[in-house]
Amino acid sequence: MNSAEPASLVLGFPDCREPAQRLADAAGLDYADVDIHQFPDGESLVRLPEELPARVILYCSLDRPNTKLVELELAAGAAPGLGAEGLTLVAPYLCYMRQDTAFLPGQAVSQRIIGELLARRFDTLITVDPHLHRTHKLEDAVPVRRAIALSAASAMADSLSSREDSPLLIGPDAESEQWVGAIAGAAGLDYGVARKERLGDREVRIALPALDLAGRHVVLIDDVISTGQTLVETAGQVAARGAASISVLVTHALFVGDAEQRLGEAGVTDIVSTDSVPHTSNRIQLAGLLAAALKATPGV
Ligand code: R5P
């Protein structure tokens, strides 16, 4: 940000208030809440400050996205009438990235459709470790003027630095190699990647890599835990091979239903996540990473 430009304002959605305030503090920006009233019929009433500066940063992580996308659309639609001339979306977790193709005829390609929706309102998007697989670049998924995909790998690697047991890192599928490889590289640890076959929303088959796990301290690494089934299956097999301990390090802690409990039953004794999605396992704060990206982006 140029010192001659008026300061931007960070607006935080209700369930992201604390990380949004941390971002504003780290970036040296003012902060205000987005107020949301839920009507009994499920509709939302969104209220912003009466006057906005020219640049506004909306902080809204897009876990459990269907209601949030409507509320974000209402906020972003209202902001220009209150003085905003340019909108940045900080969405540490970006939804609908996994449906990046039509796997069956007639399926909506959600990634592209949601990306186009966001690009109609926002000129800048900042997110963390978006699930890019067949689409390689964030701007191809979300065609905004500036699409910035940050990596939490370095912060996640730092969270392993106090461990003296040289853990072995394991990613559950080919898609996870980009994250587990980066974290292992930054932490100077060994890693392996399993193969996954998805049979349904809550059913996966995992084939572990040919590594000797007996007596090893294993950290399972993934970008997203949703139902938890991917890592429940992986943990079960790692335990069966005689690992000394199993823990989990994840970027986006969605944790649907009893995912956390089932991970415990599968032998996982510790779960660490970033605060991209508010959850009790959050131990890695992303405010510094996000603030550095804001400061490095001209005019934001
Ligand atoms: C998929 O490729 C992702 O990287 C995760 O492995 C997946 O979303 C985890 O889902 P679940 O926790 O429901 O198995």
Percentages (nearest 5) of helix, strand, coil residues in the chain = 30, 25, 40
68 noted as active-site residue = no
Find the residues whose C-beta lies inside 6 A of ligand 1: 98, 172-173, 175-176, 204, 222-230
Task: Give me ligand 1 centre to Cα 240, in Å.
Answer: 21
The one-letter amino acid code at 279 reads H
Give the separation between CA 300 and CA 145, rounded to whole angstroms.
12
Q: Average pLDDT of 224-245?
A: 98
pTM for the predicted model, two decimal places: 0.95
Task: Give me ligand 1 centre to Cα 251, in Å.
Answer: 11
Sign of the dihedral through C-alpha 295, 297, 298, 300: negative
Burial (0-12, 13-18, 19+ Cβ within 10 Å), 32: middle
Q: How many CB atoms lie within 10 A of CB 158?
A: 13
Q: Is the pLDDT of residue 2 over 50?
A: no
- The β-bridge relationship of strands 203-207 and 124-128 is unpaired
The one-letter amino acid code at 242 reads G
Ligand 1 atom 5, closest CA: 224
Burial (0-12, 13-18, 19+ Cβ within 10 Å), 224: buried
Task: Give me ligand 1 centre to Cα 79, in Å.
Answer: 35
The 10s digit of each residue's pLDDT in 31-65 is 999 999 999 999 999 999 999 999 999 999 999 99
The 10s digit of each residue's pLDDT in 273-291 is 999 999 999 999 999 999 9
Ligand 1 atom 9, closest CA: 225
Which atom of ligand 1 sits closest to the CA of residue 226? 12
Q: Average pLDDT of 249-271?
A: 98
| Strands ordered across the beta sheet of 217-225 | 191-193, 168-171, 217-225, 245-253, 268-274, 282-284
Which atom of ligand 1 sits closest to the CA of residue 254? 12
The 10s digit of each residue's pLDDT in 121-154 is 999 999 999 999 899 999 999 999 999 999 999 9
